[in-house]
């Protein structure tokens, strides 16, 4: 299982618009091949910064199957106008579970 963290800064004042767009977009991620969970995390120290957490069965489910798809375009239509700069995405895999 792969965890994608997509980090994005939102234009100040557009946070509620962004959060509403993420909620509307959940349907696109839910039906995306290999997408297993989705949550949105907001930074305490930088309240206009968010991290979208998505788990995928494989990296390619994100980078090949979802990225650039019609549903990806719908997702971007909902939120891209609220971005302050470009989002960055990174993929991680768990190497240790403490408790």
Interacting residues with a second copy (CB under 8 A): 2-3, 5, 19, 22-23, 26, 29-30, 37-46, 50-51, 59, 90-99
Measured from the CB atom, the residue of 38 and 80 that comes closer to a second copy is: 38
Asked whether 95 and 3 are in contact (CB, 8 A), the reply is: no
Angle among Cα 28, 43, 47 to the nearest 5 degrees reads 100
As a residue count, the chain comes to 99
- Residue 46's nearest CA partner among 84, 20, 75, 86 is 84
Measured from the CB atom, the residue of 22 and 78 that comes closer to a second copy is: 22
Least distance (Å) between residue 73 CB and a second copy: 18
Least distance (Å) between residue 76 CB and a second copy: 16
Least distance (Å) between residue 70 CB and a second copy: 19
Q: What does DSSP say about strands 2-9 and 49-56: parallel, antiparallel, or unpaired?
A: antiparallel
Residue 58 DSSP class? S
Least distance (Å) between residue 23 CB and a second copy: 6
């Amino acid at each position: 299982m792969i965890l994608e963290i997509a980090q994005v800064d939102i234009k100040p004042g557009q946070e509620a618009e962004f959060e509403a767009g993420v909620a509307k977009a959940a349907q696109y991620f839910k039906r995306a091949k290999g997408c297993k969970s989705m949550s949105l995390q907001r930074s305490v120290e930088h309240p206009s910064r968010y991290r979208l957490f998505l788990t995928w069965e494989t990296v390619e489910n994100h980078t090949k199957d979802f990225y650039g798809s019609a549903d990806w375009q719908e997702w971007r239509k909902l939120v891209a106008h609220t971005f302050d700069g470009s989002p960055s995405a990174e993929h991680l895999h768990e190497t240790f579970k403490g408790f």
